[in-house]
Each structure stands twice: as C-alpha cells, then as structure tokens.
Amino acid sequence: MELISTPNWNITITLMSSNSSTKEPGEMEIRFDRQLAYGILRLTLGVNILLHGLVRLPHLASSADSLVQAFAKTPLPPQAVRLFALALPFAETIVGFLLTLGLWTRFALVGGGLLITALVFGTALRSDWETLGIQMLYAAIYYLLLAGRTYNRFSIDHLRRKTRVHYVNETK
C-alpha cells in the first residue's frame, strides 16, 4: 500500500499484483456497463433535445422573430429562416421524445444528426464559432449513439425486438 499526500487531502492507493485474488469483470458485465452508459447518454440527450423544443413552443412567434433578426446579415432569405425557426421546435420535440423513450432510435438519431447539421450550417454563416463548437459536441454525441446502437438495451426498441423474437420462436 502506498500513501500519496497532497496539501489538502490524502489518497490511499492499493497496488495489487497481476496474480491477486480480485476478479476482473467478465464480458457480460462489461457489456452491461456499456448498455447502461449508452442508455444514460441517450436518455440525457433525449431530455435535452425534448426540452429545447418544448420550451420554445409557447413562444413560437417570438422565437422565430429572434432567429430572423439573428440571420439578418446572412445570405439566407428571411422567409426560409422563419420557416426553419417555426419547424425547429417541433422537430426537436419529436427527436427528443423518441430518444428519451428509445423508440425508433436509428430514425431519431439520423433526424437529430441532420438537424444539428442544419444548425451548424446556419451558425457558420453567422460566424458564431463558440456556438458552433457546442453544436459540434452534439454532432459527436449523435455519432457515438448511432455507431453504438447495438448497446441500446434500455429502450422501447429493445423491448419490441425482444417481443418480436419471442413471438417468432413461439410460432415455430
């Protein structure tokens, strides 16, 4: 055992040899942890995007007006910006709801990824690089969730797939 001392606190680290009696996590445990991590990340993104949309719905017109003003110095026509601004909260609400439940996850992730692509395009036109950096983090999360979809255990999709497999097995 080794004691590491710092000015404000002490940390005790136990060093174990490779032939110690501690059990390494098995493949099932590692897979379960990855499924939990995936579920938490998907749920967190879903709630975030769902609330992005829901909080704007009661103020749809004023949110659209703000966005039209923000894009006034870009080459985008104000009518196109307004149409996008009016549709955005509905799209976010749908994508967020589906991700929160884990329902049609692939569809929701692709839709959310395309939505963030449109937002990145507009943000780049405005030269708002700080916001663009945050949006790129969203894009990376969409990528990770789509690429790791095989870990989507804690979802309605998983329950539907499991029920379908049982039903098929029972009919044979």
pLDDT in tens, 97-125: 999 999 999 999 999 999 999 999 999 99
Q: Give the bridge partners for 5, in sequence order.
A: 10
Encoding tokens for residue 90? 């509905």
Alpha-carbon distances of 155 from 40, 92, 159, rounded to whole Å: 11, 19, 7
Q: Are 49 and 95 in contact (CB under 8 A)?
A: yes
Banded model confidence at residue 158, pLDDT cuts 50, 70, 90: very high
pLDDT recorded at residue 27? 92
What confidence tier does 165 reach under pLDDT thresholds 50, 70, 90?
low
Output the pLDDT for position 159. 92
pLDDT greater than 90 at residue 171? no
The predicted model gives 6-30 an average pLDDT of 61
Is 0.85 surpassed by the pTM of this model? Answer: no
Work out the pLDDT band at 161, boundaries 50, 70, 90. confident
| Residue whose entry in the numeric block shows the structure tokens 């979809």 | 149
